[in-house]
Amino acid sequence: MTALLTIIILVFILVAIWQMVKIFDLAQAKNENTQVASDKDNAVNGYLMMGFLAFIYIITIICFVKWGDLPLLSNSASEHGPIIDNLMITSLIIIFIVQTVTQFLLHYFAFKYKGEKGKKALFFADNNKLEFIWTIIPVIVLAGLIIYGLNTWINIMNVDESDDPIVIELYAQQFNWKARYAGEDNTLGKANVRLIDIDRANILGLDESDPNAQDDVITTELHLPVGRPVLFKMRSQDVLHSAYMPHFRAQMNCVPGMITQFGFTPTVTTADMRQTPEIIEKVNNINNIRVQNSKILVAKGEDPLDRYEFDYLLLCNKICGKSHYNMQMKIVVETQEEFDAWIKEQKEFKNSLIN
Amino acid sequence: MSANADTHLHAEEHGHHHHKETFITKYIFSQDHKMIAKQYLITGTIMGVIGVLMSIMFRMQIAWPEQPNVLFQALLGKWAPEGVMDADIYLALVTIHGTIMVFFVLTAGLSGTFSNLLIPLQIGARDMASGFLNMVSYWLFFLSSVIMILSLFVEAGPAAAGWTIYPPLSALPMAQGGSGMGMTLWLVSMAIFIASSLLGSLNYIVTVINLRTKGMSMTRLPLTIWAFFITAVIGVVSFPVLLSAALLLIMDRSFGTSFFLSDIFIQGEVLHYQGGSPVLFEHLFWFLGHPEVYIVLLPALGITSEIIATNSRKPIFGYRAMVASILAIAFLSTIVWGHHMFVSGMNPFLGSVFTFTTLLIAIPSAVKAFNYITTLWKGNLQMNPAMLFSIGLVSTFITGGLTGIILGDSALDINVHDTYFVVAHFHLVMGISALYGMFAGIYHWFPKMFGRMLNKNLGYVHFWVTAISAYGVFFPMHFIGMAGLPRRYYTNSNFPLFDDLANVNVVITIFAVIGGVFQLVFLWNFFISMFYGKKTEQNPWKSNTLEWTAPIEHIHGNWPGEIPHVHRWAYDYSKPGHDQDFVPQNIPLKKGEEELQH
């Protein structure tokens, strides 16, 4: 209904504009009858250019003030998170400066040099010095960014095996996630989708004869001990998926037929994160929105929405089919003791099979 | 040269005894480049309307998820039971929107229209090197458009794997409804499209190399022609790779091969595929996919160069640097495809290489932007609608291009990959920019195409509303992307985490609807002016290039007598020593006048 109303209103606006243009046309008819811009058009559009510049600046300011500090931007929960965030902020500052200056020059010139009859433009076709300057400046800035960026990238992507990371498999399928812990031996058992045996509850296709597989633990929630490096091995059984963990600044595709990997160290437990002022504010804000939405739902006779509580999430971020929009897994970062207690409650692979 | 002589003879023949043209040879199976250009434009426009309509529908779904909507009910039929959009059709709309806009509107509609119209007219040729191949190229494009539209009506739904059609999703009918007949038609349509594009590109290349009029050296070519020429070269280099990817995918789908598939368990059964890799497809796809961005963008930049110079009444600043940057962009565009695949599982070292080459592209791009701005400096700017769209292009090209610094940086891409940040980036830098280039071209060359003028006031309304809504849609979109919102989600309501972004999405959708509806102003102006617009003068914008020396009435062979000879470059605007502020390329140098060493 809202959409229909919107459309109707827009149609009316359109009619109004059409009428305005007609009036404009009639007013002009006496003096000139041409579709080439007149001095008046140049002037009007010149001023509009300045107006548009103001619009760009205003929309930039509104966006940064209202949405620039979304906690996902500032609150990272992994060791490499702040490194990425710093690089991001550096890049944003450079972009912001270049954007502000070049948009100003573009629109200001469009305003300043608006055409007038009888005026002649400057014949200025080339200047090697200028060309050199604005080739070399981007070269220097980009060289800096490339070096900074590549250093960061190599740091993140090179997993140091000597750190003794805990190895966890992320297993993707339409449309859910599983996690497989390597168990005591910290070595994942061999697996292939050809070994999947649904009847025996071997849902990830583990090799039942592989001794390393026996103590593997398969879960539907991802628990991580805080401060311990994790090395994720990603697998997919059907189509491409992408394991996206935005709070940890982590993402890697899951590709059928191959194992991909990504490693990071979580630094903030879920409990601690819930206590940070940014997250408290964000959660309150979201709950206010949910209360408002619930009122509408209840009025329609539907159930109200649950209260939102902050949790880290693993999202699917590669189009994977109909329910792509709801493929998620909760991530819990906790202390080593909590983690040990939790993993002990889970069934080992050898005990989870149905014979 | 023989083709030139040949068409030359033809033209003479025409001049003497008008042999009859039937409706069919003139309007339908025409071999005249001007008519073919119009055919491309009209077909592209129709496809554009469909593509934009789709985007308005899925934007409404994102803003008001799972709400009944009369628009859906009216247009989606069984895919919107009781007016609520289905999740399958949401993905299909996103997919077909992308396909149509990138290929059918901004590749065929843009290059097809303006390369065809302008290459012969601006280089001084009677027609394309092969009028017949040119006709075949258009009709293949038409056929592929028809097939793409037909695929919308397939029982199980049109292709829905995203416009990048990554396998296995696109390869397995059981993975998704749209991967059945819909995907088959998509692949067939695209294969035909590629054939069309290749025929067109080869024709453009041969024409530019062989059929330039006397005096039209490569360094006197207008920048439009440079852009179209290099675009065609990129197309010839990269489109065949997509064709091979499509063919291999067809084989995987229908003949049981395993190029892109391996170890798949789906719907309770293990499939036989072994040894292939989806990553291989990604490489092949983006080997075209990234150059494709420049296939879309370069013609728009070429058009802008021409229009900004003409309407600034100034030479384009740094002609040589502009040509060099086109060449640099073209070269680099073929070695950066991996930046779409930083988190695809490919070797991180490869990621480093692609980061390096990708960020290099910013250098020629920056040179172009600065040169445009300098061209405006101390000009005498004629604010025709075409000029507004060209300035608008430079603006969105800068805004959109700058965020490329973030996405091209592999470390930063980890967290914004496949989020709305990407959507915002590429829509501004290639979508909106190229669309502005296309609009600019239409406003500028409409008199050449139809002998009539577009209404300028409607043009102003069209530009300003479009400009504001484009920023209104895509600027805030960066921020929801940085907040981690993935693209291609049917609804975000399963993630309370994103509830605080819902109002941003409503704002974006409102701007999108306004922007979409105001394109009707353009369509109205376009179709009415075609028949009732004010008759044009021969050279309404007082431009230097050769097309304005040809008569308003379209004739076979373009010029009634001899083809004009060229004596200078295309940018002698406001040159000291001349009474007028423009000197067309066919005017000989005055005594003692020196041609600029550009």
Residue A3 scores a pLDDT above 80: no
Site from B91, B344, B415 to mutate, A interface, most A CB atoms within 10 angstroms: B415
Cβ atoms of A241 and A258 within 8 Å: the answer is no
For residue B403, the chain A residue with the least C-alpha distance is A95
Cβ atoms of A183 and A199 within 8 Å: the answer is no
Under an 8 A CB cutoff, do A326 and B88 touch?
no
In percent, how much of chain B has pLDDT > 90?
89
Q: pLDDT tens, B447-465?
A: 999 999 999 999 999 999 9
Please identify among residues 555-594 of chain B the ones whose CB lies closer than 8 Å to any CB of chain A.
571, 573-576, 581
- Domains of chain A, CATH where assigned: 162-272+307-352 (2.60.40.420)
Does residue B572 fall inside a structural domain? no
**pLDDT (average), residues A320-349:** 95
Q: Describe the crossing of helices B362-376 and B319-333 by its angle, rounded to 10 degrees.
A: 150
Residue B5 distance to chain A (closest CA, Å):
36
Residue B14 scores a pLDDT above 90: no
Long-range contacts of B319-323 (CB under 8 A, 24+ apart): B319/A125, B319/A126, B319/B223, B319/B569, B319/B571, B319/B598, B320/A126, B320/B598, B321/A131, B321/A135, B321/B367, B321/B371, B322/B223, B322/B226, B322/B367, B322/B368, B322/B371, B323/B219, B323/B223, B323/B226
Assess A23–B contact: CB distance below 8 Å, yes or no.
Answer: no
From the number of C-beta atoms within 10 Å of its C-beta (0-12, 13-18, 19+), residue B159 rates as buried
Does residue B576 fall inside a structural domain? no
Check which CATH number belongs to the domain holding B113 and give it: 1.20.210.10
Under an 8 A CB cutoff, do B314 and A55 touch?
no
**Mean pLDDT estimate for chain A:** 90
Does residue B207 fall inside a structural domain? yes
Residue B446 scores a pLDDT above 90: yes
Question: Count of domains in chain B?
Answer: 1
For chain A, report the end-to-end CA distance as a whole number of angstroms.
Answer: 56
Q: How far apart are CA B313 and CA B377, in angstroms?
A: 11
Give residues with Cβ within 8 angstroms of A89, minimum separation 6: none
For residue A244, the chain B residue with the least C-alpha distance is B415
State the pLDDT at residue A29: 53
Does residue B86 fall inside a structural domain? yes
State the pLDDT at residue B12: 45
Cα–Cα distances (Å) from B4 to B124, B127, B128, in that order, read 10, 8, 9
Residue B268 scores a pLDDT above 50: yes
Listed range (A123-132, A230-239, A321-330, B235-244) with the worst mean pLDDT: A123-132
Residue A16 scores a pLDDT above 80: no
Assess A57–B contact: CB distance below 8 Å, yes or no.
Answer: no
Q: pLDDT tens, A33-68?
A: 578 999 999 999 999 999 999 999 999 999 988 887
State the pLDDT at residue A67: 83
Residue A355 distance to chain B (closest CA, Å):
19
Q: How far apart are CA B54 and CA B59, in angstroms?
A: 9
Residue A79 scores a pLDDT above 70: yes
Does residue B345 fall inside a structural domain? yes
For residue A69, the chain B residue with the least C-alpha distance is B483
Does residue B367 fall inside a structural domain? yes
The partner residue sitting opposite B263, judged by closest CB among A116, A192, A326, is: A192
Residue B383 distance to chain A (closest CA, Å):
5
Under an 8 A CB cutoff, do B362 and A127 touch?
no
Strand arrangement of the beta sheet that strand A241-245 belongs to = A222-225, A328-334, A312-316, A241-245, A250-254
DSSP conformation letters of B454-476: PPHHHHHHHHHHHHHHHHHHHHH
Cβ atoms of A175 and B91 within 8 Å: the answer is no
Look at chain A and count its residues. 355
Q: Is the dihedral of CA B213, B218, B220, B226 positive or negative?
A: positive
Assess A69–B contact: CB distance below 8 Å, yes or no.
Answer: no
Which residues form the domain of B520? Answer: 2-17+30-549
**Mean pLDDT estimate for chain B:** 92
**Among the listed residues B589, B574, B582, B587, the one whose alpha carbon sits nearest the alpha carbon of residue B543:** B582
Does residue B555 fall inside a structural domain? no
Please identify among residues 67-96 of chain B the ones whose CB lies closer than 8 Å to any CB of chain A.
67-71, 87-88, 91
From the number of C-beta atoms within 10 Å of its C-beta (0-12, 13-18, 19+), residue A199 rates as exposed
Assess A352–B contact: CB distance below 8 Å, yes or no.
Answer: no
pLDDT band at B597 (very low <50, low <70, confident <90, very high): low
State the pLDDT at residue B366: 94
Q: pLDDT tens, B62-94?
A: 999 988 988 899 899 899 999 999 999 999 999
Give residues with Cβ within 8 angstroms of A161, minimum separation 6: A231
Residue A91 distance to chain B (closest CA, Å):
7
The partner residue sitting opposite A91, judged by closest CB among B177, B261, B412, is: B412
Under an 8 A CB cutoff, do B406 and A91 touch?
yes
pTM for this entry: 0.93
Q: pLDDT tens, A177-213?
A: 999 999 889 999 999 999 999 998 999 999 999 999 9
State the pLDDT at residue A20: 66
For residue A139, the chain B residue with the least C-alpha distance is B363
**pLDDT (average), residues B345-361:** 93
Under an 8 A CB cutoff, do A323 and B571 touch?
no
CB pairs under 8 A between A and B: 426
Assess B534–A contact: CB distance below 8 Å, yes or no.
Answer: yes
Does residue B103 fall inside a structural domain? yes
State the pLDDT at residue A323: 94
Under an 8 A CB cutoff, do A121 and B379 touch?
yes
Assess B391–A contact: CB distance below 8 Å, yes or no.
Answer: yes
Cβ atoms of A245 and A251 within 8 Å: the answer is yes
ipTM of the complex: 0.93
